[in-house]
Amino acid sequence: MASVIGHLEQSSQDSLRVIQDYLYAVMPMVQGVQRVAVGPMESLSFTQDMAGVKHPWHFLAQNMSDGTLRALGVLVALFQKT
């Protein structure tokens, strides 16, 4: 999924924005998602609001709930262009 998000960052910012908007509707604390390099591999970084904190925190995909990752997977599948 990280490579698909990376492709959307490069080629279709509008589609990525729609995905992020729907993800926010499902998970209101999640402000965004982006592809990040982790050594020779890639992962996803989620920006999330935290109560009592001025600036949002960043979490790698491994630290996000299964439900958030599944919701993102469904949204990416729904809005992919063929």
Model confidence over 2-18: pLDDT tens digits?
999 999 889 888 999 99
Query: How many other CB atoms are found less than 10 A from the CB of residue 74?
Result: 14
Model confidence over 21-54: pLDDT tens digits?
999 999 998 999 999 998 899 999 999 988 888 8
Please state the rounded mean pLDDT for residues 65-82: 89
Contacts of 17 (CB under 8 A, 6+ apart): none
DSSP string covering 38-71, please?
Answer: ETTEEEEEEEE--TT-SS-EEEEGGGS-HHHHHH
- pTM, rounded to two decimals: 0.85
Q: Tell me the torsion sign for CA atoms 41, 47, 48, 50.
A: positive
The ranges assigned to domains in the chain are 2-79
